[in-house]
Structure 1
Amino acid sequence: MIPPFHYSITPELHHSMTRMNWPVVLCLVLSVFITAAADEPFRPEAGKFPPLEKAHSYRGELVFVDHANRRGSIRVQASGMFFRNDPHPFAMLPYGIVRYQGAPADLRDIPLGTVMHVRAFLPPNPKIFAVPVLPVNSKDIDANHNRGAGIAPAENHVLLLEDEPSHCQREGLAWKLKELDLKNNEGMIIASCEAKAGAGGKAREEKLTFDAGTRIWRGRERLAIADLIAEGIWPASGKKALDGQAVLLGITWKPTPDGIFTRFHISDIWMDDVAMRRAAQAQTEIHKAFIRSRWMPAYVDAVEYGKFGRATVTATLFGGMDASLYADFQKDTPVLVNGSENTLKHAGGAYGPAHMASKGPILEVTKSPGDVPPGSSGVQVRFETDLVIEGIRPTRVVRIRPTSWPQVQVPREEYMGDGSNPEDRFPTPAIFPKY
């Protein structure tokens, strides 16, 4: 809210007002209100996909993952000493997208220590949450102890979580290598992140470390620092100008000597497009196999109830996945649909997700024209079932599997019972064996 203000009109002010260009003034005033509104924290609604431009952005190191509950912690980068920043919990929205090495991913695919870019919102329902709910203005509070403001934003429900190469590809950016300083197969690179096509914008220059463990990808080859030295591309020791060579970088964080508190580390260098495409292809195949075994998540848009448990259901498949997965949803294809929790855990899964699932043929598949918001695929599936289950209701999350996908049993941590026990949603140590 913008606070009210009070004023009085003097003769001098009245004279000035009569000389103003009011259309211009009105545009300026509106722009102030629009900017203020854009800065307001945004809370998504169930059953709707929020606009990416209203998300809060931050960057940090992935330090903890609870993949079964689609949550974790990130050490958020701010203006202070990075190593002092407490890990900040986050939860993926049910339709939240994870991208790693330019491809769809699950949280379990991301190595700890990877620097991630985050686009997140306030929790949709603060009464039902997988991570702590913070004061709305928490990102503006200085955490003190040389940490700075912004390390614990209330916007901790994530729409888009992506590593450095995925972020650069989506934004049309590349890292331009300027200079390296090398000794004993480790050293420092000065590089700037800027528009790949030279379209302008402010470049972000950083000093990044690398070492003998840094992976270098060139075409179909995986190289080490020693290989570049042996080829004479990099010197065995000393500095060398790199003339703005465009690459994509994988970035992590490691404790740094010399009193430098925020300096990131290069885990990977992709020297060309072929190398990056191969990495993305490998990760895509991993994710495709994962989704086929866990089922496609979707929002229920509408349910038309018939007699004796019959229903016709319309659902929108979640986005961010490989096109071949969506292509498996075709008219007349039989599907199984199971209720799911917002963490995408299957409900009623003690005998496997297929045990309680509704079954029936797809009646229609439609694709929304034009752009769709992130989180949505734009693919809407309408199917019929003769026994609709409780979990299939408008705005609820479900999982859908064409019968051509493999039928497997999901591990215990990835399903819950009937949803009546809160401890079943977020398992306690009781799920572990007694030794």
Structure 2
Amino acid sequence: LLEDDVSFYQRHGRSWKILGTEQGGGPAPRLKLSVEPVGPPVEGGINKAALFDIDEATRIWKNRQLVGMDEIQAGLEVQVNLTWGPFESLATTDIWLDPESLEAFREIQRQRHLRLIRSRFLPGWVNEVTNHDTGGGEMSLTLFGGMDPLLYKEIKQAENPKISDAHVTLRTWRYHQEFAVPSQRTHWQENEDPPLGSSGIELKVTLPQMLDGFRPGQVVRLKGHWTYVLLPFDEWLMAPEDFEQASRMRLP
């Protein structure tokens, strides 16, 4: 499970109490935010007082908007997101001074996620394929986990989702809607307690055309009733050779 710091610590009932700020030393002196953990110990987390880098690039949120560093006061319980700073220090990217600001920020991130997946289509992997002698065939697949529940609801409402083959990196074709094949869903099953990475949603479809990428273990992407958007150039697969090239690390 990959998640940012604020999601990780809040999921474990943890916040941070601000003790104050102090000027750091060393070859790259930076202003430090002094905090101590509030809440239960977290396995794999920071369980003692800590110093986090803070500067004018840190986004400080209060009352659902950005505020200045002067709003940071000792005694406040806050949530933070962290990144690496100089010399293995931890630096703050965002500080939320109240729950309302954090919820507003989460909704912004959620809407970005919805926009991204609706334009790139919902990913899944192929479980089984049956090719018909006269063309077309049947395919069973499982949708990836970790997506917003609304996306699964929307794809369920689409009884004829268009399906495009994709690479394991999730890249797909430039004109992914035009190259996608319309399908007819024949089965939808939601399994409880799926393994990590799986949504637990399995579906079967019939297709009038079987693309080369429709093979067991391969990745596909499903389009619901979403507005079509042309993908950015750096996400394109332009030729079958791109599948092979994308599977290897290429150094400059």
TM-score normalised over the length of structure 2: 0.83
| Contact kept? 1:190, 1:206, Cα under 8 Å | yes
Corresponding residue pairs, total: 244
Code of the aligned partner of 1:253? W
Structure 2 equivalent of residue 415 of structure 1: 236
Out of 351, 358, 380, the position equivalent to 2:202 is 380
Task: State the Cα deviation string for residues 288-341 of structure 1 (Å, max 9, x = none).
Answer: 111111111101112233332232211111111111111112266211111111
Within 5 Å, give how 1:276-315 maps onto structure 2.
Answer: 276-315=102-141
| Alpha-carbon shift at residue 379 of structure 1 (Å) | 1.6
Taking CA–CA contacts closer than 8 Å with sequence separation of 6 or more, which of the two structures ends up with the larger relative contact order? Answer: 2
| Alpha-carbon shift at residue 262 of structure 1 (Å) | 3.1
Report whether the alignment pairs 1:176 with 2:17: yes
Task: State the Cα deviation string for residues 319-372 of structure 1 (Å, max 9, x = none).
Answer: 1111111111226621111111111111xx35x113332211222222112x22
Q: Secondary structure at the match of 1:320?
A: coil
Give the fraction of aligned pairs with identical amino acids, expressed as a percent. Answer: 27
Within 5 Å, give how 1:15-414 maps onto structure 2.
Answer: 160-181=1-22, 187-193=31-37, 196=39, 198=40, 203-226=47-70, 228=71, 234=73, 241-242=74-75, 245-255=76-86, 261-330=87-156, 333-346=159-172, 349=173, 352-369=175-192, 371-402=193-224, 404-414=225-235
Q: Secondary structure at the match of 2:240?
A: coil
Q: Rg: which structure is higher? A: 1
Residues 424/191 of structure 1: CA separation in 2 closer, same or farther (3 Å cut): closer
Alignment RMSD: 3.0
TM-score normalised over the length of structure 1: 0.50
| Contact kept? 2:82, 2:90, Cα under 8 Å | yes
Tell me which stretches of 4 or more aligned residues in structure 1 moved more than 4 Å: 199-202, 424-429
Residues 278/420 of structure 1: CA separation in 2 closer, same or farther (3 Å cut): closer
Residues 332/361 of structure 1: CA separation in 2 closer, same or farther (3 Å cut): farther
Distance 1:219 1:171 in 2: 24
Task: State the Cα deviation string for residues 17-53 of structure 1 (Å, max 9, x = none).
Answer: xxxxxxxxxxxxxxxxxxxxxxxxxxxxxxxxxxxxx
| Contact kept? 2:41, 2:47, Cα under 8 Å | no
Distance 1:424 1:385 in 2: 27
| Contact kept? 1:331, 1:362, Cα under 8 Å | no
| Contact kept? 1:366, 1:379, Cα under 8 Å | yes
Distance 1:204 1:423 in 2: 46
Unaligned runs of 5+ in 2: 25-29
Task: State the Cα deviation string for residues 356-411 of structure 1 (Å, max 9, x = none).
Answer: 32211222222112x22331111222211111212111111111112x11223223
Residues 424/214 of structure 1: CA separation in 2 closer, same or farther (3 Å cut): closer
| Alpha-carbon shift at residue 420 of structure 1 (Å) | 6.7
Code of the aligned partner of 2:123? P
Distance 1:318 1:265 in 2: 32
Q: Secondary structure at the match of 2:205?
A: strand
Unaligned runs of 5+ in 1: 1-159, 235-240, 256-260, 430-435
